[in-house]
């Protein structure tokens, strides 16, 4: 028995080893390094004296970082809420439509998922060209049909820049919730909803009270993925608004702020940016845990 379990352990190590090594080298080590770095003052790339929590205090408490962090954090929150609202509800709607009408399902799934094969940087540059007031087809199209009043500087208008980012992001990723919800819907036996309908429930009620609770695990997964994606977003916003997130920093997010501190941040850039990175990690990880727990509680067994 001992021999067999030893051999089994060997196989486990054989199959999991490479992944574990890669994970350690590329995830655990950089994380630990950032944590370590964040407790020191830095002179360029030379590590200075231990600084205790000073870097954290500076990033979270000092002017002007505090304001910037709060503003960027709020933008991340809005970005997440908007994405949940637009991308995931529309994604769910599309999944339901395709589930009910299997005609052309493959084609539509492929079409809707195509944009996420493109790098977010490319998507950002494409859309910044489309939305450009100087040459962009969006304003030109509106003018062509006589809707001049609706033309906007889009990414340069602080009131609508962030919603525009939400829409562009949704345009790219809508295929993701659609596929996940689609798979989850397909896994729910049709009899359950049919039984509800026979009992007199409307289609609306049957969906929300029978089918939807059964796809809760998928809802949880999509919510978590959206949350992590929205709080770590960088490339799309960078392409749309540059490193300061557009005029008036109306699209500034934590990822951009980190970039600015790390690469344009002066002598102690490593200390401050590592501290901010750790704060971001703790927030994303912590909230993800809480969200995961609370969503799991709402899942129904069947």
Partner 1 sequence: MRRFIAGVLSMVIAGGVAACSPGAGAADGDVKLSVWGWRTEDVTVYNKIFEKFEGTHPGIDVEYRAYKNTEYNTILQTGLSGDSGPDLAQLRAYGELQPAIASGGLLALDAAVPRLASFPAATLDGARGRADGKIYGVPFAIQTMHVVYNKKLFADNGVAPPQTWQQMLDGAATLQRKKIIPFAVNVRDDWMIPIEHEIFGATRYGGAAFEKRVLAGEAKFTDPDYVASIETYAGTSKYWQPQFSGVGYEDAKALFVSGKAAMFPGGVWELAGFRKSAPDIELGIFSVPPSPGAVLDKAVTPGFVDGSFGVATRTRSKDEAVELARWMATPEFGQAFSDQLIQISAVPGTAPTDPLLKQAFDAYTANPSPYLMYADFSYGTPPGAEVLRTNVSAVLLGTGNATDAAKELQRSVDTWFKPRG
Can you give the binding site for partner 1, defined by CB under 8 A?
Answer: 43-46, 62-64, 68, 128, 131-135, 139, 151-158, 241-244, 246-249, 260-261, 263-269, 272
Smaller CB separation from partner 1, 112 or 259: 259
The CB-of-240 to partner 1 minimum distance in angstroms stands at 9
| Residues 271 and 41 sit within 8 Å (Cβ to Cβ) | yes
Rg from Cα positions in the chain: 24
* Distance of alpha carbon 34 from alpha carbon 53, whole angstroms: 14
Smaller CB separation from partner 1, 177 or 246: 246
Which residue from 83, 66, 17 is spatially nearest to 272, judged by alpha carbons? Answer: 66
* Distance of alpha carbon 114 from alpha carbon 108, whole angstroms: 10
Smaller CB separation from partner 1, 99 or 152: 152
* Distance of alpha carbon 265 from alpha carbon 258, whole angstroms: 9
The CB-of-100 to partner 1 minimum distance in angstroms stands at 40
The CB-of-292 to partner 1 minimum distance in angstroms stands at 35
The CB-of-215 to partner 1 minimum distance in angstroms stands at 40
E strands along the chain, which residues? 40-43, 46-50
Residues 6+ apart with CB under 8 A from 8: none
The CB-of-150 to partner 1 minimum distance in angstroms stands at 12
Smaller CB separation from partner 1, 213 or 242: 242
Six-digit token pair at 241? 């608004």
The CB-of-230 to partner 1 minimum distance in angstroms stands at 22
Residues 6+ apart with CB under 8 A from 19: none
Smaller CB separation from partner 1, 41 or 91: 41
Q: Which residue, chain included where needed, has tokens 């699209």? A: 251
The CB-of-283 to partner 1 minimum distance in angstroms stands at 22
Smaller CB separation from partner 1, 249 or 274: 249
Smaller CB separation from partner 1, 2 or 134: 134
Assign residue 269 a region (left: φ > 0; alpha: ψ between -120 and 50; beta: otherwise): alpha
Q: List the beta bridge partners of residue 46.
A: 43
Assign residue 246 a region (left: φ > 0; alpha: ψ between -120 and 50; beta: otherwise): left
């Amino acid at each position: 028995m001992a021999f067999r379990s030893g051999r089994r352990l060997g196989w486990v190590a054989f199959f999991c080893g490479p992944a574990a090594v890669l994970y350690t080298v590329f995830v655990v080590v950089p994380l630990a390094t950032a944590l370590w770095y964040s407790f020191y003052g830095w002179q360029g790339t030379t590590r200075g004296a231990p600084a205790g929590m000073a870097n954290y205090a500076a990033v979270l408490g000092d002017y002007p970082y505090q304001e910037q962090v709060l503003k960027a954090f709020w933008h991340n929150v809005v970005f997440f809420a908007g994405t949940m609202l637009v991308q995931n509800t529309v994604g769910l709607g599309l999944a339901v439509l395709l589930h009910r009408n299997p005609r052309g399902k493959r084609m539509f799934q492929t079409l809707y998922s195509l944009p996420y094969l493109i790098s977010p940087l490319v998507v950002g540059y494409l859309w910044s060209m489309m939305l450009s007031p100087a040459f962009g087809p969006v304003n030109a199209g509106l003018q062509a049909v006589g809707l001049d009043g609706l033309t906007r500087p889009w990414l340069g208008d602080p009131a609508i820049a962030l919603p525009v980012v939400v829409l562009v992001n949704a345009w790219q990723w809508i295929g993701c919730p659609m596929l996940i919800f689609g798979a989850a819907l397909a896994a729910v036996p049709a009899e359950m909803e049919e039984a509800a309908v026979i009992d007199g429930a409307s289609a609306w009620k049957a969906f929300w009270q029978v089918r939807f609770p059964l796809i809760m695990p998928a809802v949880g997964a999509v919510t978590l993925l959206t949350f992590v994606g929205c709080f770590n977003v960088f490339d799309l916003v960078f392409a749309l608004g540059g490193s300061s997130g557009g005029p008036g920093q109306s699209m500034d997010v934590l990822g951009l702020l980190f970039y600015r501190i790390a690469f344009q941040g002066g002598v102690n850039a490593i200390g401050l940016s590592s501290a901010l990175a750790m704060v971001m990690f703790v927030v994303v990880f912590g909230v993800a845990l809480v969200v995961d727990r609370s969503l799991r509680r709402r899942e129904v067994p069947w």
